A and B are shown apart, each in its own frame.
Chain A
């Protein structure tokens, strides 16, 4: 069995998944609310807006 699927299966046994700051492997990424670049004033999102998808989150800077 894929070891990662095994890990996920074992995690199902745990009713709750704690979020971790800063984010760490095999932990839940914090569902913090952030403004959206180019969005309306006050518009915010969490990663929950992409629920059900595998997400590649890239933190970078334009400098």
Chain B
């Protein structure tokens, strides 16, 4: 338990103050796991859209009678002393609960498609009235990602979320909250620290205590677990074997597996590193399952001009059971070549996999080709420092 909380918990138990937490994470249930791990026990409000428009965290506010801000950076000594003794007459708050916009209300109601439509209109309006306002783009990104994580997911939702967050940062590059949202899914070169590498430790420690581990709705993956790296991507010197060099494997003509790839950030910048997230989902209508006894899923990426890969071949780990139906993900990074002009590069590749179809009982192997398109803007120009005279 953090030291600051030990101090405050006693004060809260006395009834003299109420601790309330506020988070702006895209996947708030991860904070629930964090709270259980660190044994923090206070209510948490979720502001994934950053409606409070904070530009940095952590922050602490001392509030009297629900809303008057007494201090913005209260010190522990002041909290224990003056703050506990303060008694304010009730405030009359102007317009106590302002009416939410249509877009925000839809988001609060978890009507993701409605939120997306409404925030899209806000973006259109902002592009005309206030091109320096990144807020609607950020919030539209949040809505797309929320729909991606829901049962109403549409192909392309995750990429559109990345597109919108990239746009929000282009408009407001100093906004810490926007930056962190994109860095979470972005390449290691962008990361200040690993975002969710604590999750395994949290689960283990909670289980050891004999407590219940809060479930996660969305498991963190590759990019969210990776630590920062300041090295550019270097091509591997290890010889890798193409699993189907002559294209002899039968193509997946029935669509047993749907492949989707997401590039972050997007558009990228020439010369930069991007993160690529690949999702391979089984066709539920066909009742497709992975045939783990047949062999692993393999992804092969072709080398090409315009980019560098650390490795070309990836093999998925195999579950113990003979058949399974999970979504399979592969996250990797690509180093883009420098360029003075904007443009795009394509990474060709293919996946080979072993699947079974429930209806016919047929198990087979298949190949599916794909192409990952990466749009980029021109590299930043290096500014020259003026010499002091």
Contact = CB atoms under 8 A, between A and B. Distances in A.
Interface of A: 4-5, 8-9, 11-12, 15-38, 41-42, 44-48, 50-63
A4 to B, nearest CB: 7
Interface of B: 8, 16-25, 28-35, 43-47, 51-55, 57-72, 74, 79, 82-84, 86, 88-98, 100, 108-110, 180, 184, 193, 195-196, 198
Contacts of A41: 110
A51 B64 CA distance: 9
13 contacts: A8-B88, A8-B89, A17-B68, A17-B93, A23-B72, A30-B67, A33-B108, A47-B20, A48-B96, A53-B65, A59-B22, A60-B21, A62-B196
A19 to B, nearest CB: 7
Most buried by B among A5, A50, A55, A56: A56
Contacts of A35: 28, 45-46, 108
Nearest to A47: B66
Q: Is the interface of A mostly helix, strand, loop or mixed?
A: loop
Contacts of B70: 4, 25-26
Of the candidates B52, B66, B98, B108, the one having the most CB atoms from chain A within 10 angstroms of its own CB is: B66
Given A54-B16, A54-B17, A61-B24, A37 B97 contact: no
Nearest to A24: B69
A49 B32 CA distance: 21
Given A19-B67, A23-B72, 11 more contacts: A8-B68, A17-B92, A21-B52, A23-B61, A26-B69, A37-B44, A46-B97, A47-B20, A48-B97, A55-B18, A59-B52
A61 B180 contact: yes
B69 A27 contact: yes
A19 B61 contact: no
Nearest to B63: A55
A33 to B, nearest CB: 7
A37 B28 contact: yes
Given A11-B91, A45-B43, A54-B83, A28 B25 contact: no
A57 B46 contact: no
A45 to B, nearest CB: 6
B59 A59 contact: yes
Determine which residue in B20, B22, B25, B193 has the highest number of CB atoms from chain A within 10 A of its CB, and name it.
B20
B384 to A, nearest CB: 36
A56 to B, nearest CB: 5
A29 B68 contact: yes
A11 B89 CA distance: 10
Contacts of B90: 51-52
B72 to A, nearest CB: 5
A60 B34 CA distance: 11
A61 B23 contact: yes
A46 B47 CA distance: 11
Given A12-B89, A63-B25, A32 B51 contact: yes
Contacts of B25: 61-63
A28 B43 CA distance: 21
Nearest to A23: B69
Given A32-B98, A41-B110, A58 B71 contact: no
